[in-house]
Amino acid sequence: MDKLLIEGGVPLQGEIAISGAKNAALPILCAALLTREPVTLTNVPELNDVATMLKLLAQMGVKVTVEKVGAAGNEDAPPGADSPRTVGAAGNEDVPPGADSPRTVGAAGTAPLTVTLDASGLDNPVAPYELVKTMRASVLVLGPLLARCGEARVSLPGGCAIGARPVDQHLKGLAAMGAEIGVEQGYVHARATRLKGARLFTDMVTVTGTENLMMAACLAEGETVIENAAREPEVVDLANCLIAMGARISGAGTDVIRIQGVERLHGVDYRIMPDRIETGTYLCATAATGGWVRLTGAFASALDAVIDKLMDAGCEIVLERDAIRLAAPRRLKAVSIRTAPYPGFPTDMQAQFMALDAIAEGTAVIRETIFENRFMHAVELIRLGADIRIDGNTAFVQGVPRLAGATVMATDLRASASLVIAGLAAEGETLIERIYHLDRGYERMEEKLAALGGRVRRVK
Ligand code: EPZ
């Protein structure tokens, strides 16, 4: 298994481009199931979770075409010469190299994917366990399959490292729209001749729950109102894509979303929004190493809570139209955080901030209110010399002057990012094991860190 070897103590300095958002790309890929016409998505990040979702869609009968947009530096190559092959997933290898690959060039440092999905041949509305168990977001096919085919068999995702993460709110909402839902042998069997609009209320704010129900409601008969809806920017990105496909949605980004069902949706060309959690992660890595960074293609507006906390910690931040600049102080001040649904402090940035607080001046209190077990990075940070005490869903972090490199183990996606940040700040070498977790949600992290002067190497 791959490991990351990090030599710490080097301030990160420079400029990198932010990739497309994983948590917008995953639901938007599923939205392609809602139409028989081709959907072309640009700025799709090249991540393992995206590859898993494309595999899941392809085995349902969706024709998937992936084209890697040329990274900067080959714009002078003649068209088609080395412009990346259009690589089909299973079933359409016959696409000639570069046949229909428009030669646009990704921003420096990224090589986003252009993905075209054609669900006209959708003939197998099943999400099998072996794919769903590796990625919980697979549950996002449930709503679209029900709306498009009137039936779906989707494996229950099972728990994951950060918590039980049930999908009862997804099922409750679909049942309220008239679906017959049964659960047997670990699979959800759902069936509905045609979903009917309903007034839905989720017991807690659920991001993919809101997304599943919003997609299902697009083709339902009549109006659906989702109350207590998630307000995350990725929910808004999905809504914008659905609206561009002909859906009638209002209120996305607020806690009440209204959807008027329509007969069908049409194809679309849509660009995925930048990844706010990747942005926050690189801001934290720079802050932890006392450096400076300019992140291009970043949406500052989606990160207010994180930017406020970084400024409280002593960082100087400048927001440009589509870039963010940060300069770190010599030593950070400890900041306390409490995670909450958007626009509160994002739970996906909690682990990264614990690494910052571990070396900051003072004591920080970190409250995790979304997931019941999202502190597994704490014991690994303690191996690096951090002074952290956990009491239920609260962590008390006493800043220490410096961390010392050691071998640590990644347990989940954002915990891995936290260990990378700590390793970059620690003295000496840190070896992070099981970094397949990182590859799920960060596009070529070691290359981006190296572009900022970080001494990071992937070793077998
Ligand atoms: C999404 O997960 C994100 N994943 C997560 O990002 C993120 O941490 C989470 O939202 C919270 O912001 C994607 O968007 C693909 P929830 P999701 O449903 O939708 C409970 C990452 O690192 N709940 O908002 O699965 C649930 O157990 C990932 O990129 C129920 O009880 O999260 C949790 O405690 C990690 N029943 C809370 O609600 C349900 O039916 C919030 O979960 C649904 C959720």
What was the pLDDT predicted at 448? 97
pTM score of the predicted model? 0.92
Helix (H), strand (E) at residue 378: helix 376-383
Region 215-220: what's the mean pLDDT?
98
Task: Tell me which of 30, 149, 160, 241 is the catalytic residue.
Answer: 160
Closest ligand 1 atom to the C-alpha of 341?
A: 12
Peptide bond before residue 343 is cis, with ω within 30 degrees of 0? yes
What was the pLDDT predicted at 85? 35
Phi then psi for residue 86, to 5 deg, are: -80, 110
Q: How far is CA 416 from CA 120, 218, 226, 264, in A?
A: 39, 37, 34, 42
pLDDT tens digits, one per residue of 264-284: 999 999 999 999 999 999 999
293 lines ligand 1 (CB under 6 A): no
**Euclidean distance between the first and the last CA atom of the chain, given in angstroms as a whole number:** 6
| DSSP assignments along 267-330, one per residue | -EEEEPPB-HHHHHHHHHHHHHTT-EEEEET--GGGGHHHHHHHHHTT-EEEE-SSEEEEE--S
What was the pLDDT predicted at 111? 78
Closest ligand 1 atom to the C-alpha of 172?
A: 40
70 lines ligand 1 (CB under 6 A): no
Closest CA to 174 of 136, 220, 138: 220
Distance (Å, whole) CA 294 – CA 283: 9
Amino acid found at 421: I
What is the signed CA dihedral for 190, 191, 192, 196, rounded to 10 degrees? -10
Question: Listing from the earlier edge strand, what are the strands of the sheet with 3-7?
Answer: 407-409, 429-433, 3-7, 455-459
Question: Which residues have C-beta within 8 Å of that of residue 379, sequence separation ≥ 6?
Answer: none
315 catalytic? Reply is no
Q: Residue with the nearest Cα to atom 44 of ligand 1?
A: 206
453, 293 contact by CB (below 8 A): no
pLDDT tens digits, one per residue of 152-194: 999 998 777 788 778 999 999 999 999 999 999 999 999 999 9
Residue 99 C-alpha to ligand 1 middle, in angstroms? 39
pLDDT tens digits, one per residue of 370-380: 998 899 999 99
Ligand 1 mutation pick, 53, 56, 141, 206, max ligand atoms within 8 A of CB: 206
What was the pLDDT predicted at 109? 54
